[in-house]
Structure 1
Amino acid sequence: MARPVLEKHKAYLDQVNQRNSYYARREFGKDMAQVAGAVSRHLNVLPEELLFTRNATEALQTLIGGFNLLKPGDTVLYADVDYDAMQAAMDSLAVRRGVKVVKIAVPQPATYDAALSTYQKALKDNPGTKLLLLTQISHRSGLLLPVKEIAAMARAAGAEVILDAAHSWGQIEVDVQQLGVDFIGFNVHKWIGAPIGVGLMYVKKGRESAIDPDMSEAPTATTLESRLHTGTTNFAAYLAVPDALAFHQQVGPAAKEARIRYLRDLWVSQVRDLKNLEILTDDDPRMHAGITSIRVKGRTDAAENAKVAAELLEKYKVFTVTRGGLAGGPCIRITPALYTTEADVAQLVKALRGVAG
């Protein structure tokens, strides 16, 4: 959280703690309507199309597990760049819905044309596909998919799309109406900078029936709220969302995106000459934002990746995250933040030259 958001969050904690049950039962609903209104304006959706969750994982598991337009023998499709919990949720549909589950691999680094052709071929090779999971920005490699174009392909092939936007909103500008997707899971506590424990589920108005009601609700329930029963939530965290959005707007979404992209390009441009370093996103700005992952040649299994990450941290004081699951092998994710400086990038470049030079 930015400091102004953190201070507001502390104040909300005090208010909620003081007013407690009276606030929860008599006033919180009205405040949440205002929070939903603020979010809806930023995403270009209707407030009633949004349901707050604790994170994108909760939202996406609800959408995937509850998606009821599948019948035995249908195909569902996802890729190696998708998040682990979402892959597991798609796999579970084999038992829950009796469908065939297909996993594909996206090239690394993927060009714009290669990404489109990969999904086009997957849909052609699996004509019974009724559900496609897409991740707008991969938490593994940083790949930014052309969601609008792939979603159009899926619709033409008779498939619905569930979109994982956990890492996109706030890292890039997101206008839901431009994506052509009816079901989306968001995080608000990542790149928007709200307190930890705030996510969103988007369901286009009129599509609620495609998602089963929560087990605690009547089977005939029709509202979006009936699709997920989280129980008591972190009131103060939700109340701080408009403050996070205000700070995000004060910085400027386009300026924030430009800054994060600049920091990524700054370090990548200085290590492209390293023959032992594999960079997993293409330099085409359509294919990445701020996140980009690397591999050091000859040190590509999980154990060696962990050693490289440990060396980056212990020797150079650069914190990175190891990620597995890609068809090409494990990798190390590098994620600049809004507050990352050029001096930080210079230290990263020094570190990468040290481990891969």
Structure 2
Amino acid sequence: MTLSRRRIVTGLGALAAAPMVAGPGAAGPVVAGAVPAAPAGVSAAGLARDEDFWAAVARQFRVSPDFVNLENGYYGIMPEPVRRAYHHNVDRLNEQSSHLLRTAYKAEADKVRDRIAGLLGVTREEIALTRGGTEALQNLITGYRRLRPGDGVMYADLDYHSGQYAMNWLRSRRGVHVVRIVMPEPATRRAVLDTYERALRDHPKVRLLLLSHMNNRTGLVVPVREIVAMARQRGVDVIVDAAHSWGQLDFTLADLDADFAVFSLHKWMGVPLGAGFLVIREHRLADIDPLYADETYPATDIRSRVHSGTMNVAPFLTVDAALDFHESLTARAKQARLCYLRDRWVGRFRDAGSMDVLTPDEPGMYGAITAFRLRGRTTEADNTAIADRLMRDHRIFTVARTGMSGGDAVRVTPALFTSASDIDRLVDTLRDIA
């Protein structure tokens, strides 16, 4: 369904009346201060195809006109209302300095935790703020205290490299053995479940499993709830890495049924760089050690599981603005749009004999992130050369990804400001390259 311009303006509320600014690098005028809202009465699938609506959303982002950015998995650009709030909070922190840190910030941080908790479906007491998903992941893995010498820990080839490193670190620190499994390629829901079921059966001493909800290499989304259930039956705890999925997919923690999880705020929620959090369900807090025997908070407070020193708190003071933007669009609409953009290019290459698409088309098993490789081009050098050619010759920015057992690939990640014409430009270019 396509919305009329009048309905778009109505749906965006103050969008039309907001002042227009054209900042450095802006691709056309940027609308300052407005928060788009998904129009009522339109299905998420219908809205996903409405280029007029998403063009209005795109005008909320200052995006360089020098290239098409299809590498949005590393860092999510702040929309304009969030960028302005962040600048305000940087100024506020700079002006008030340690007085802010020692007084008002503590209560404001609790309100941020409340806001996140409400959206994720947990309690404030189950959330601790971190400087990103990586710090959260490292804290949970290294702090997990139920391992004994001779136990095993497990991760997959597609899991985040920093998580893999932390799991490997447990070998020398905890005396455990490390099991690395290989995800099926091409993947299906059934094949993924069978892989984990077989791995857990074949390695009965495993007590801790790292599980990526959506991995950063190929974008595969796995059925977390089912894997967590089969792990529990065997006495295995699961740390879920949801850094890429939250803000990109529509879910709450209850949908994952996870006791331990990590999240990023500066990827798909549009918070400034340097913000994330970890979740430990209240009845499992004692199973994660306080970090470095932290005494700032009592052991019964989840914040004792994080010790980051003096942080730049401006990103956390900006969380409210970012979540306002997210909730105005809705997670459902964001997911539908990102999947639509991904499907628009993948659908034209899925059956191409010269290209392998590494993320399945099964509903619920992908989002925006998808990787491809040209048939026979499996090395890092091959795929770096492809990404370099896309940028050099066609001004399309992607990134080569490594670590997949089946070979390296090129990752393509659209964002909310990506247009259908951007995707069509990629399609034309890939046809030439393939």
Aligned to 1:196: 273
The answer as to whether partners of 1:187 and 1:200 remain within 8 angstroms in 2 is: yes
Secondary structure, aligned partner of 1:150: helix
Superposition CA RMSD, Å: 1.2
What's the TM-score once normalised by structure 2's chain length?
0.81
| Among candidates 305, 316, 323, match of residue 394 of structure 2 | 316
Q: CA deviation at 1:84?
A: 0.6
Aligned to 2:421: 343
Q: CA deviation at 1:182?
A: 0.8
d(CA) in 2 for partners of 1:296, 1:20: 52
Amino acid at match of 1:249: E
- 1:178-217 matches, cutoff 5 A: 178-217=255-294
| Among candidates 249, 272, 282, match of residue 327 of structure 2 | 249
Aligned to 2:86: 9
The answer as to whether partners of 1:216 and 1:229 remain within 8 angstroms in 2 is: no
The answer as to whether partners of 1:312 and 1:319 remain within 8 angstroms in 2 is: yes
Aligned to 1:19: 96
d(CA) in 1 for partners of 2:230, 2:331: 29
Write the deviation string for residues 63-96 of structure 1: whole angstroms up to 9, x where unpaired: 0011010001111110001011100111111111
| Among candidates 77, 93, 107, match of residue 184 of structure 2 | 107
Secondary structure, aligned partner of 1:76: strand
- 1:1-357 matches, cutoff 5 A: 1-218=78-295, 221-356=299-434
Amino acid at match of 1:199: G
Q: CA deviation at 1:216?
A: 4.9
Percent of aligned pairs with the same residue? 44
d(CA) in 2 for partners of 1:106, 1:186: 22
Write the deviation string for residues 305-337 of structure 1: whole angstroms up to 9, x where unpaired: 111111111111111111111110111110010
The answer as to whether partners of 2:125 and 2:301 remain within 8 angstroms in 1 is: no
d(CA) in 1 for partners of 2:281, 2:351: 46
The answer as to whether partners of 2:231 and 2:238 remain within 8 angstroms in 1 is: yes
Q: CA deviation at 1:272?
A: 2.3
d(CA) in 2 for partners of 1:283, 1:100: 35
The answer as to whether partners of 1:163 and 1:183 remain within 8 angstroms in 2 is: yes
d(CA) in 1 for partners of 2:269, 2:161: 22
Amino acid at match of 2:227: I
Answer with 1 or 2: which has the greater Rg: 2
The answer as to whether partners of 1:194 and 1:244 remain within 8 angstroms in 2 is: yes
Query: Bigger CA drift: 222-231 or 260-269?
Result: 222-231
The aligned length equals 356
The answer as to whether partners of 1:63 and 1:211 remain within 8 angstroms in 2 is: yes
d(CA) in 2 for partners of 1:38, 1:221: 23
Structure 2 unaligned spans of 5+:
1-77
Amino acid at match of 2:174: R
d(CA) in 1 for partners of 2:288, 2:312: 25
The answer as to whether partners of 1:112 and 1:286 remain within 8 angstroms in 2 is: no
d(CA) in 2 for partners of 1:188, 1:320: 22
The answer as to whether partners of 1:323 and 1:330 remain within 8 angstroms in 2 is: yes
